[in-house]
Every structure is written in C-alpha cells, then in structure tokens.
C-alpha cells in the first residue's frame, strides 16, 4: 500500500485539470515525494469528513490518478499545483498513516477504446465548445473541441454542475457511449428543475 490518496470535495476525471493550494504538512510531504520520484497521487471524493485536518472518515471507492503538470511555491509555505486526471482506479484497501495521510492499494480500471463522435453527440459537443468560453474553464485550458467520445464524456462529466454522487456514477462507467447518454439524461433533468 504505497499509493497516496488526496480526498477532496471534487471528482476528478481523466484528461481534466484541477488547481490546488497545498498548505498541510502531510500533503506538502506527499507532493515533494511525488515530484522527487516522478510519481502521481489519487484524488477521491470525500463522502464524510473535511478536506483539512483529520483524514476524511469516508471517501469514494473509485477515484482518478492525478499527474502533476505544474507547481509554484507561494509565500507562507503554500504550494500551488495544477494536476491532470489520468487513469481511473478502485480502492482495494486504505490505511491512514500517523501524519493523517491516507495510503491505498488500488486496482486500475480498464479503459474502453475511445470511439469517434457520432451524429447524436452533436448537441453535447456544441455544449463543450460553449463551456470553453467560461473564464474558469478557459483558465484551466479545457473545453473546446473533443476528439472522441471519451474526451467529450470526461470533460462534460467534470465541468457540468452535477452532484458528487452523479459524477461518481459517471466516473465508474467504462462505456463512453452509455456515459454520454447518461449525461444527456442528467442535463434534461437539470433543465426540468429550472423555473419556467
């Protein structure tokens, strides 16, 4: 068990980017180790507990590997990093260390072949292009044109305002076409919640 986990109030997806400010000793140590060894860490979604302080009491069994793209040391010992999601995994066993860092043994999930976009994905592809104009999305260098079903499914799952439970359900789906169908259903449900 040597894969460090970073429980957060977010669900990371493959190919998606996340900016983090790190100031807790356990994560600063973890990141210096990752940077020194050229390794990654895992992002899992907190189900019970907090991001700061004691280790989260409950987190999702499914998560996403985070590769460090860039980092910057700020004043006051704060480290700013940008990560990109890579492989999906399922946590087999996890153990909280003395310093409150959680280490895990994980199974890497199989990725289905990324099929090209089909005619029925046109509306979702247009939505992703529209999201690229949002300042937060633009700052992460995301959104725009998706080259296949996997990229479209991952980016929309990550960027759209679905609940953590819905995002975890999407992350667990290996079939990209099925995931795009599910995103369409969730979007219709979101639109149904809007006042007329």
CATH of the domain at 159: 1.20.58
Domain co-membership, 51 together with 21: yes
Instruction: Write down the pLDDT at residue 75.
Output: 84
Residue 99 CA to its chain's centroid (Å): 24
194: which strand partners? none
- For 61, other C-beta atoms within 10 Å of its C-beta total 16
Q: How many Å apart are CA 27 and CA 19, to the nearest integer?
A: 14
Q: Are strands 41-48 and 17-22 parallel, antiparallel or unpaired?
A: unpaired
CA distance readout (Å), 187 to 10, 155, 163, 182, 192: 19, 14, 12, 9, 8
Tally of structural domains, the chain: 2
Average pLDDT for residues 19-33, to the nearest whole number?
Answer: 94
The reply to whether 135 and 169 lie within a common domain is yes
d(CA 163, CA 12): 13
89 and 150 assigned to the same domain: no
The helix (H) or strand (E) run that includes residue 137 is helix 135-139
Residue at which a domain ends, from 108, 132, 166: 108
Query: pTM of this prediction?
Result: 0.93
Residue 76 binned pLDDT confidence (cut-offs 50, 70, 90)? confident
pLDDT of 48 reads: 87
CATH number at residue 8: 2.30.130.40
Confirm whether 113 is domain-assigned.
no
pLDDT at 194: 59
**Pairwise CA distance, residues 187 & 61, whole Å:** 25
126 and 100 fall within a common domain? no
pLDDT recorded at residue 195: 56
Per-residue pLDDT tens digits for 78-137: 999 999 999 999 999 999 999 989 999 999 999 888 899 999 999 999 999 999 999 999
Look-up of token digits 């667990």? 172
Distance from C-alpha of 141 to C-alpha of 114, rounded to nearest angstrom? 21
| Residue 114 included in any domain | no
Is the pLDDT reported for residue 52 higher than 90? no
Tell whether 136 and 181 lie within a shared domain: yes
Residue span of the structural domain in which 25 resides: 3-108
Query: Using an 8 Å Cβ cutoff, are 57 and 63 in contact?
Result: no
């Amino acid at each position: 068990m040597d894969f460090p986990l970073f429980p957060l109030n977010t669900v990371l997806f493959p190919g998606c980017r996340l900016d983090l400010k790190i100031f807790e000793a356990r994560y600063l140590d973890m990141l210096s180790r990752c940077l020194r060894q050229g390794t990654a860490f895992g992002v899992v979604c907190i189900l019970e507990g907090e991001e700061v302080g004691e280790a989260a009491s409950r987190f999702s069994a499914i998560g996403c590997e985070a590769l460090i793209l860039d980092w910057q040391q700020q004043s006051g010992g704060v480290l700013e990093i940008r990560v990109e999601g890579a492989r999906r995994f399922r946590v087999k066993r996890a153990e909280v260390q003395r310093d409150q860092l959680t280490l895990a043994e994980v199974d890497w999930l199989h990725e289905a072949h990324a099929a090209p976009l089909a005619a029925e994905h046109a509306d979702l592809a247009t939505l992703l292009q529209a999201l690229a104009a949002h300042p937060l999305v633009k700052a992460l260098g995301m959104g725009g044109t998706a080259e296949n079903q996997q990229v479209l499914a991952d980016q929309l799952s990550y960027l759209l305002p679905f609940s953590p439970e819905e995002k975890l359900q999407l992350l667990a789906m290996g079939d990209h076409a099925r995931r795009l169908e599910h995103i369409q259903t969730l979007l219709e449900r979101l639109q149904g919640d809007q006042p007329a």
